[in-house]
C-alpha cells in the first residue's frame, strides 16, 4: 500500500500520512506531487500521451510526474517518476527545481503542492523506455506545439506550468 505524507499550508510535514488516492484531506492539509519537464538542448520538450484506460484525462498530453511517497523528498520523487515513466535518469542532467504551486479543492479532500522541475538532457528516441501502463506515445514538442495542445484542452496543467517551457 502506497502512503503519502500530509503537509500543512506552509508545506511542512505534519508527521501524518494518507493512503494513495484516499481523498481524506481537510482544508489546510496537502499532499506533495512533482512534475519533471524534460527538455533537450534544441528547446524541444519530451511530452507523453496518457493511456486511454486512465480514469482521469485519458489521451491527454503531459510531462512526467506523480505523488511523492511517504518519507520521499521532492527531488527523489521527481527523479523516480521520470525514470519510471520514461526510462530516463535525470540525476546528472542540467537544471533542477523551478517553482512550486498549490492546488486547493475545498471539500474534495484533494489539496496538493506541485514542485516543478526542468531537466535539460541530450536524448533521442533510443533513450526512451516508456511505462506502457501510463503512456501511449510521446513526442519531442516545441513550446508552440505544447501551447496548441493546451488550447485544444488536451495538455495537463499547462496554465500552471507554462513558464517551464520558456528557456
Distances (CA, A) of 145 to 124, 127, 136, 139: 18, 22, 18, 10
Three-state SS for 106?
coil
Per-residue pLDDT reduced to its tens digit, 99-124: 999 999 888 888 999 999 999 999 99
Q: Which of 131, 139, 143 is nearest to 61 (CA)?
A: 139
Phi, psi of 38, rounded to the nearest 5 degrees? -105, 120
Q: What's the pTM?
A: 0.95
Q: Which domains does the chain have, with CATH numbers?
A: 3-160 (3.90.79.10)
Cell output for 146: 505544447
Please tell me the predicted confidence (pLDDT) of residue 41: 97
Query: Does an H or E element contain 158, and which?
Result: helix 158-161
pLDDT at 83: 97
Question: What are the residue ranges of helices labelled H in 17-108?
Answer: 74-86
State which residues of the chain have pLDDT below 50. none
Amino acid at each position: 500500500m502506497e502512503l503519502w505524507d500530509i503537509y500543512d499550508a506552509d508545506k511542512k510535514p505534519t508527521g501524518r500520512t494518507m493512503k494513495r488516492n484516499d481523498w481524506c484531506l481537510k482544508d489546510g492539509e496537502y499532499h506533495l506531487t512533482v512534475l519533471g519537464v524534460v527538455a533537450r538542448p534544441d528547446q524541444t520538450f519530451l511530452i507523453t500521451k496518457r493511456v486511454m484506460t486512465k480514469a482521469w484525462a485519458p489521451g491527454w498530453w503531459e510531462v512526467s510526474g506523480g505523488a511523492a511517497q511517504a518519507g520521499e523528498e521532492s527531488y527523489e520523487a521527481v527523479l523516480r517518476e521520470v525514470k519510471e515513466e520514461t526510462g530516463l535518469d535525470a540525476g546528472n542532467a542540467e537544471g533542477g527545481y523551478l517553482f512550486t504551486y498549490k492546488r486547493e479543492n475545498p471539500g474534495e479532500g484533494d489539496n496538493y503542492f506541485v514542485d516543478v522541475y526542468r531537466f535539460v538532457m541530450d536524448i533521442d528516441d533510443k533513450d526512451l523506455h516508456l511505462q506502457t501502463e501510463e503512456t501511449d506515445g510521446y513526442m519531442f514538442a516545441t513550446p508552440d506545439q505544447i501551447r496548441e495542445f493546451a488550447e485544444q484542452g488536451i495538455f495537463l496543467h499547462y496554465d500552471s506550468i507554462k513558464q517551464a517551457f520558456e528557456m
